[in-house]
Amino acid sequence: MKTTLRTHPPAKAIAAGLLFPALVAGTAFLSASAHAQDAAKTYTLFTGADIAVGQNGELHPVRDVSGGSWIIGVNGQQVIVSAASGPLSMKVTPSLKLTDVSATISNLTSDQAYTFQNDPSVRLTRSLSESATLNVGYHVAVNQAIAVSNGTIAASQMGVNGAKPGGSTPAGVDDPVAKALSNAQLSLDTASNSVGSDLFFRQTGGESESFDALKVSFDVSAERRIEEPYVVAITRFHERGAGSGSFRNLVYAKALDPVSSQAQRVAFEQAGFPPGYELLGLEIHLYDRGYEVATNVAPNRVALTGDEAFDFAKAKYLGAHKNETLPATPLLGKLPGDLRKRVADGKYGETIYVRVSRDGRADEAFADPACSRRIEDPYLESIVRAIRFKPALAQGSPVDGVASLNLSRLRI
């Protein structure tokens, strides 16, 4: 496994906005539809997978994939976790997720297969090759035995090595021809038995009885470019000989090139299955920088409007923080496409403050936490009004509050 982080291309501005860091458990911040588009179902609710890996029993959320290694977040730092460093611990948790970023997976196929070492064709070819080699050796041995025999006969005629002229081989001396032929025949029989075993293995009982791999292929595309994608395949299978109804999971991950509207072909072979496994199910999950993207093959997929998405996310937040007292924080927001450039030019780098209603809306920006010094900036106000917030909580109940906001720290 490689132990270097993959190099990503520079992030580009996306007209539809941003992805905030996740604040609702299992739900990433999303780009909210503008008020005029609230009736359009631009969001997707689906069952995703939260993946955490680690070593020495300590698990951390996966943030990326590089080569054959997982990249996890530990105290704000990216850390490489590779099986080459020792056994991996992993936890996959199904989770309801909400996103306005979606991709299309088409031409999805999955076929049981063999690893190279277990492929009957490879085994047969190898055995035939070994048999051919031994067969050549057999003939060489016969020729050598005949030569030895001729030498013995000549020696006996000359009275050499204790043989009487015109006599036979001395007592106690093995017949060299019989011995050489016996050894060569034994080797040839062994090779023939091996070839016969592989022929039987391949032709009787069904090839599926020895499959130990899975070949997967599909095309992936997205209207909104996905800069740093990786795919995770979660396979559910039944092991031969295991109890009825039992199953195991196998997880495979692969880093992809940026996904765009031009379909990208993805193909891989997943090994590690016990020979003769029965395939029960396969899920394909697509991620961008650690956040899962909805696909048309995602389980329990439901399209939502902006209002429905906000109501769902807010309800989930309230349910997860009963009896808690918390400040207001951003939840959904659509940012203009030119904000990235403005931030790069040094604008909007300071923290601002906004009054947030118990319904999660704000309309003005202020320079101080007391919201006494209003910032006169129409562009900034348009951004604030496009963002919906998780309301402040007082013992679990929504109340009016104040949220701090730093646009330069948002994931655009």
Q: What is the pLDDT of residues 350-395, one digit of tens each?
A: 999 999 999 999 989 999 999 999 999 999 999 999 899 999 999 9
When pLDDT is averaged across residues 152-167 and rounded to a whole number, the result is: 49
| DSSP of 252-273 | EEEE-PPB-SS-EEEEEEEE-P
Distance CA 154, CA 151 (A): 5
Furthest-apart CA pair in the chain: how many Å? 128
Helix (H) or strand (E) holding 122: helix 120-158
When pLDDT is averaged across residues 260-278 and rounded to a whole number, the result is: 94
Could you tell me which residues come within 8 angstroms of residue 178 by beta carbon, excluding any fewer than 6 positions away?
none
Question: What pLDDT does residue 257 have?
Answer: 95
More confident site: 401 or 144: 401
Helix (H) or strand (E) holding 135: helix 120-158
Question: What pLDDT does residue 203 have?
Answer: 35
Question: What pLDDT does residue 410 have?
Answer: 74
User: In this structure, are residues 336 and 383 in contact, taking their beta carbons and an 8 Å threshold?
Assistant: yes
The tokens for 177 are: 């021809």
309: left (phi over 0), alpha (psi -120 to 50) or beta: alpha
Distance CA 198, CA 196 (A): 5
Whole-model pTM over 0.95: no
Neighbours of 280 (CB within 10 A): 12
Judged against a pLDDT cut of 90, whether residue 120 lies above it is answered with no
CA triple 337-340-345, angle to 5 deg: 135
Burial of 255 (0-12, 13-18, 19+ CB in 10 A): middle
| Structure-token match 């959320």, residue found | 61
Q: How confident is the model at residue 204 (pLDDT cuts 50, 70, 90)?
A: very low
User: In this structure, are residues 291 and 19 in contact, taking their beta carbons and an 8 Å threshold?
Assistant: yes
Q: Dihedrals φ, ψ of 4, to 5°?
A: -115, 145
CA distance readout (Å), 343 to 14, 334, 346, 383: 14, 16, 5, 13
Average pLDDT of the chain?
78
Q: What is the pLDDT of residues 288-331, one digit of tens each?
A: 988 999 999 999 999 998 889 999 999 999 999 999 999 999 99
